[in-house]
Amino acid sequence: MRYKLFIPGPCEVDEEVLAAMGQPTPRHYGPEWMEVFRETIGLLKQVFQTQNDLFIVPGAGSAALDMALGSLLREGETVVVGNNGFFGERLGTIAQAHGLRVVWLAAPEGKPLDPDDLRRVLDREPEAKAVAVVHHETATTVLNPLRELAAVANERGLPIIVDAISSLGGVPLPVDEWHIDVCVTVANKCLECPPGLALVSVSPRAWEWVDRHEEQTHGWYLSLRTWREYATKWADWHPYPVTLPTNNILALRVSLRRILAEGLEARYERYRWAAQAVRQGLKAMGFEMFVEGSFASPIATAVKARSEFKVDELVHYLAKEHGILVSGGIGPLHGKIFRVGHMGKASTLPYLMEFLFAVEEFLRKKGLEIPPGASLVGLTHYAVRDT
C-alpha cells in the first residue's frame, strides 16, 4: 500500500525528485560527475547560507553527529549538551560514546532550552570545550532558540555543534550569520529527499578545534580530517574518501533546485501555513496542542492525547482507512501525544484537506459532535496557497 506520510521525517518526496533516483547510475568521479557534485555543494551552501566547508557524507544524520563530536573533541573533554527531549539525550549518548564528559543543559519536555541557563552552566564549567544542541527537538516539536544559544557559546569562544537534522530548510537557519560552527542535517527531512545522505558544514573555528591535537583518535571514515584531506588531495576528480551514492545526490540536486526556485522564505512560509492549518483545524475539533507559543515548530505538530479514545486508535484508523501515517510519541511521551509532520507533500493543500477530513470522520465515528467542516477552519482563515 502506498501511504501518505504525515510523520516528522522521512517525508513524502516529489515525483521529480524520485525520478532522479531512477536515472542510470553515474560513476562517482571524473569530470561529468564533478560538475554535478560541485553544483550540489554550491546549492547546499545557499540553503545552509554558509561559506564554510560542507561535506556530503553517505549515512544517517547520526553519522555526521558522530563525526562532529569525535572530530572536535577528545576523550575526557567536557561538552555541554542541550537536553529537552529524545534527540537531545541521543546527542549526549553519542558524546559519551566518544568518552566525553557530558554536562547537561536541561529543560522539561515541551519547553525550550534557555540561553541564560547555558550561561550559568558555562560559568560553573570553565573546562567546557564545546556546546552541542538540537535545533528542532523532533520528539516534542519544540524549536530551540538556536540563535541565542549560539550567541552564548560565541561569547565564550566555544564552538557550537548543532543537530539541525529536522530543521534545516524548513525554518530560518543562516549558518554564518548565527555563527554555527558545525551544522548537521540530512536529505530526508526538510530537504524533501529520500534517506541516505548526511550533510555537515564546518567553520574555521571548528577546524581549529579539530587541529588542536596532533593525532586522529576516533577512526577514519567519520573523521573530518579524512574528508578535508581528500577534498584537497583529490580536489579535481574525487574530493571525498569513499564512493558516494550518486543517485541520492542527483535527487538532492533536483530537490535543492526546487527549494531555491520556490525561495527559502516562501518555503518557510509554506510550512508555517501548513502548521497553522493543522493546528487551527485540530483545535476547532477539541484537541489541545502539546507546545504553544513561539517555540511551537512549523515543521511538525505534537497534539495531546484526549480522554475519549487512545492515540493508537486514531493512528491506526488513519492508516487503515485513509493510508495516512502520523507518528505517536516516543519514549516517555508514548501514548501521551501524536505528531503530524508538515514536510514534503504534507504541506500541500490536497494532502492537508484529506488529513483534516479523515480526523473529522474519525471523531464522528467515535460519537463526538463536530460541526461539519470544522477541521478546515485553518485553511479558510488564511490565504490558501496553490501548491
Q: Which residues make up the interface to ligand PLP (CB under 6 A)?
A: 9, 60-62, 87, 134, 136, 138, 163, 165-166, 186
Q: In angstroms, how far is CA 301 from the centroid of its own chain?
A: 14
> Closest CB to ligand PLP among 190 and 259?
190
> Closest CB to ligand PLP among 138 and 223?
138
At its nearest, how many Å lie between ligand PLP and the CB of residue 161? 12
C-alpha dihedral, 70 to 73 to 77 to 81, nearest 10°: -80
CB 236 within 8 A of CB 30: no
Three-state DSSP state, 193: coil
At its nearest, how many Å lie between ligand PLP and the CB of residue 299? 9
Cis status, amide bond into 10, omega within 30 of 0: yes
> Closest CB to ligand PLP among 188 and 276?
188
At its nearest, how many Å lie between ligand PLP and the CB of residue 346? 15
At its nearest, how many Å lie between ligand PLP and the CB of residue 136? 6
C-alpha cell at 87: 534527540
At its nearest, how many Å lie between ligand PLP and the CB of residue 16? 23
The length of the chain is 387
At its nearest, how many Å lie between ligand PLP and the CB of residue 144? 10
CB 184 within 8 A of CB 61: yes
> Closest CB to ligand PLP among 130 and 186?
186
> Closest CB to ligand PLP among 61 and 239?
61
The arrangement of strands across the sheet holding 300-304 comes to 300-304, 337-341, 327-328
> Closest CB to ligand PLP among 199 and 376?
199
DSSP H helix total and E strand total for the chain? 13, 14
Task: Say how many CA atoms lie within 13 Å of 68 toward its Cβ.
Answer: 36
* Identity at 152, one-letter amino acid code: V
